[in-house]
Structure 1
Amino acid sequence: MVLRGARGGPLEIAARAFPGEAVEFAMRDPRSGRYFASVTHGQFGPHLFYTDDPTGKWQQAEGPAFPPSANAAIERIWVIEPGVDDDVVWCGVAPAALFRSGDGGGGLCLHSICPWPGDPNRLAIGISSAGVWLSDDAGKSWRRSVGGLVPRYIPEEARKDTHAFCVHNMRRAPRQPTTLYMQFHGGVYRSDNAGETWIDIGTDRGLPSDFGFPLAIDPNDPDRAFVVPLAADMDRVTPEGRVRVYETLDRGKSWRALENGLPQSKAYLTVLRQAFCNDGASPLGLYFGATSGEVFGSADGGLTWSTVAAHLPPVASVRCA
């Protein structure tokens, strides 16, 4: 769905596409203004679509596919990320794999892709049950980077296994490319050296839970990040029935709850990985959606919130255009 309205205020549905299908991710490429959507059909599987007008007709791209020798099929396209070079678009899929398009998306679970500003050869990616992987040659080769991550949710004797390192979300600070933040399966982490090693910033720092999926970073302040904690591990809903966004202003040394205007009683919501974003404005606008169909917005950096849309299908992805 395309929603339009004033910052932080009520939104109206401007257009609806792909009825009855699961839209895993949707975004606008800031370089070209083109919109992309990854759509999974119950019968025909995942496809990539694009348009220059989200209220108009969408075109199906020649989507990513494994070679016949791989003996595998793409189940979902989880994330779409513009590259550093013009016309380069990256896609992360499940089963975990990374695809590159060199023609602006005409041909093209890995869920977090962090290109390196100014260097198209450098990439950091996050994979569920596989960890963080870094490339210095545009994806031709990869090296694993899990130093400092502690998978406390599994027995100690199994922590060396690849599947132990379950990354839920990873984002780079736009103003400080060497700084990355991560929501881990059990923990919140920060890297100060472009993902080479990781520092625990979630334990005993004010969070009600170190489990969750959403993550956002202030594009103008690398010290400021936001998470939406969920009760671990099987509940996966907002703890204590209270919807709270948590903010750090000091790179994770401490966290504070931002809850004014959000439901604080018997509200057991789930916020998915790609359903949280900011608009880059000043003051910062923040928006997130829930699987119960609400979208919440703040036009003052999270100090106050309002419900900007409701009664929608489960919200899987929220992006500001």
Structure 2
Amino acid sequence: MTELLVGTKKGLFVLDGAPADGFEVTARAFAGEPVEYAMRDPSTGRALATVTSPFYGPKIWFTDDPSGDWQQAEGIALPAGGDAALERIWVIVGDGNGTLYAGGDPGVLFSSTDGGASWELCRTLWEHPTRPDWQPGGGGLCLHSIVPWPGEPDRLALGLSAVGVWLTEDGTRTWRHGNGGLSARYLPDDAPEDTMTLCVHDMVRAPRRPERMFMQFHGGVFRSDDAGESWTEVGGGLPSDFGFPLVVDPADPDSAYVIPLSGDFDRVTPEGRVAVYETRDAGATWTARGNGLPARDAYLTVLRQAFDRAGEGETLELYFGATSGDVFGSGDAGASWHTAAAHLPPVYSVRASETTG
């Protein structure tokens, strides 16, 4: 069985089921409120959700049972006395060693060591001397990608729009850029080589070869083989170099999946055909996987947190949601697809986890 936590414009939806049997909505929380992101902490089984209240701003909530009561976490706030406002919490990620990280706008990182009940602001990133030069992307100054290194809790990579890649190897005490090889077509030709105006859309690591990373950029899909220090474009076989989400198969560091959109000028699936593109050779070639997905007149938008997987290798399941309110799933690594849910509010995030039920 698989559980899907689906964050939407109008609340959190919990879906339970299996690719062969279908899914049903088993719970709903935060009705009417935007749920940017929700996930299960694999270390504890606790569910966490980020909710942007129009009255109280962004908060993190947690529970052991998504169909029951939720508790509000403490510490999700910026230092008093400043001009900046906390706009949104984009993502929550566990490092597998007891620490949770949350990233948000304006380019902030929080950490928790008590299962998400309380959080602390990462001051070294908040007070970084380059921060006055950081520029927001179209969706704000988003810290949306947090990429731990398996088994090495001091190593972390971050992706920010539109500031690029930040790396730490000393437990967030110091930071350095990892922008080598990235170039943006939206910048003028005379832009400096060390520019930080680099709009990363999503960034993931291959667990079994952690120095291998993939990135969906604002114009290009890139691969790094040196833990994010430098990047090589590998999206030449795709119908478009623009998109938001990206998933890797944990069993195969050469495997990745993306969902291209027409471009930054038209952020919908190309020619009204929905397809997930797969590479099994680290980006040298890409193959469309769309059997069962809408093949005509389907102009969908899939956001960066709305694509996820459960399992790996031969048991890899893939799931994504669209702003149309549809959620699609595959139980055979993308070879065939089914509709897991329809007519939900616009989908902001999808996170899958295997259950024992």
Normalising TM by the smaller chain, what interval?
Answer: over 0.9
- In structure 1, which of residues 135, 148, 152 is the aligned counterpart of residue 185 of structure 2? 152
Alpha-carbon offset, residue 8 of structure 1? 5.0
Instruction: Describe the superposition over 1:197-244 as per-residue Cα deviations: whole angstroms up to 9, x where unpaired.
Output: 111101x3x201010001000011111100000011121100111101
Overall identity of the aligned pairs, in %: 59
User: Given the alignment, which residue of 114, 119, 133 partners 2:147?
Assistant: 114
Q: Alpha-carbon deviation of 1:7? A: 2.5
Task: Identify unmatched segments of 5+ residues in structure 2.
Answer: 1-12, 120-141
Q: Deviations over 1:294-320 (max 9, x none)?
A: 001111111111111100001111111
Instruction: Return the match for 2:342 from 293, 310, 320.
Output: 310
8 Å CA contact retained: 1:291, 1:314: yes
Matches within 5 A, 1:1-321: 1-7=13-19, 9-86=21-98, 88-108=99-119, 109-158=142-191, 160=193, 162-202=195-235, 204=236, 206-281=237-312, 282-321=314-353
In 1: Cα distance, 2:80 partner to 2:233 partner:
41
Please list the CA deviations of residues 70-96 of structure 1 after superposition, one character each: whole Å capped at 9, or x if unmatched. 43221000000112422x110101011
Instruction: Give TM-score scaled by structure 2 length.
Output: 0.86
- The residue matched to 2:352 in structure 1 has which SS? coil
Distance 1:160 1:101 in 2: 36
On the 8 A contact 1:25/1:79 being kept in 2, the answer is yes
SS at match of 2:58: strand
Q: Which amino acid counterpart does residue 98 of structure 1 have in structure 2?
A: L
Deviations 1:250-287 (A, max 9, x none): 00001010011111111000000010011014331110
Residue type at the aligned position of 1:215: L
Which of the two has greater strand per residue?
A: 2
Q: Which structure is higher in RCO with an 8 Å CA cutoff and minimum separation 6?
A: 2
* Aligned pairs, number: 318
Tell me how far apart the structure 2 counterparts of residues 159 and 207 of structure 1 sit (CA, whole Å).
Answer: 28
Structure 1: which 4+ aligned runs deviate by more than 2 Å? 7-10, 158-164
Mean Cα deviation higher: 63-72 or 98-107: 63-72
SS at match of 2:190: helix
Query: Normalized against structure 1, the TM-score is what?
Result: 0.96
